[in-house]
Structure formats: structure tokens, C-alpha cells
Amino acid sequence: MAHPYHHALSSVRKWGGAVEDYIPIHNWFDQSKQILADFRHRALRHHAEGIFMAETLFGSTVTVSTGRVIPVRWIGEQHVREDLGFIPSFADWAKAIRPEPWMGRAAKLDDGPPETAGGDLRDPNSDSQARSAPLRGSPCPPE
């Protein structure tokens, strides 16, 4: 489907209610189009884990305008099936990613403090340092 609105219309036909009852969930599934405006955006949420993530964000159920209670998981499954024809796992998507050398390259971790541009490197957990002076811009005087 081309747009979350069309998914919401499909939800209305399936379970009743109004487009407004479903559009937040369908918008969430397709929100990743903001960063990748082709089919690859689906790798971020169009899978089984994405459906459970929607349930975490929107709750287990929604009550539509007719009073009917619909599981959010059903709405997510409908969305993913309409776009892909089945519900893949994230592993299905990951298997399709062609590994590039930069993806596995790790820099050596340094034991020293992080480099900053003139930043304050005091340890906030150390009592002696915490009492020495307020942080820059802090309205609190030193103790």
C-alpha cells in the first residue's frame, strides 16, 4: 500500500470504526519513510519485533469509535501483511543486508578520558570534585 491512510481504510473495513482510530498506528509503521523514502524503510519496523514494539507504544488494544476493542497486534500484522505479503522476522531483513567492510570495523578503545573541546571532565560521582565548584552555567553556588 502506498500510504498509511489506505492501511487505515483497510482496518476500518476489517474491524469497523473510523480512519482516525487506526491512523496513529499505521503512521508509526511508515514513519521510517522520513529517513529512507523507498521500500527499505520497512526493514526498521515491518517485522514481528516491530509489531510487538507497536503494542508496547500503543498498548495491547485500542477501542475504536464504535466501542469495539481491537488488539494492536492485529493492526500491526495487517499493516505488515498488506505491504509484504507475510510477517518476516528481523533476522529475515538482516540476512538481506549485504555486509560492507565498514560495518565490522571497530576502533581501538582508549583507556584515557574522552577528548573534549574545553569541556569539564570532573567526575560527577566523586564527592571532592563535586563540591569544588558548580558546573558552568549552574545557578547553584558551591557547597
Is residue 116 in some structural domain?
no
Is residue 84 in some structural domain?
yes
SS3 content of the chain, % helix, strand, coil (to 5): 50, 5, 45
User: Taking 50 as the threshold, does the pLDDT of residue 53 lie above it?
Assistant: yes
Is residue 31 in some structural domain?
yes
Taking the model in full, what pTM does it have?
0.72
End-to-end CA distance of the chain: 61
Is residue 110 in some structural domain?
no
User: Taking 60 as the threshold, does the pLDDT of residue 132 lie above it?
Assistant: no
Is residue 75 in some structural domain?
yes
Q: How many domains does the chain have?
A: 1
Convert the pLDDT of each residue in 101-126 to its tens digit.
988 888 888 776 766 666 555 655 65
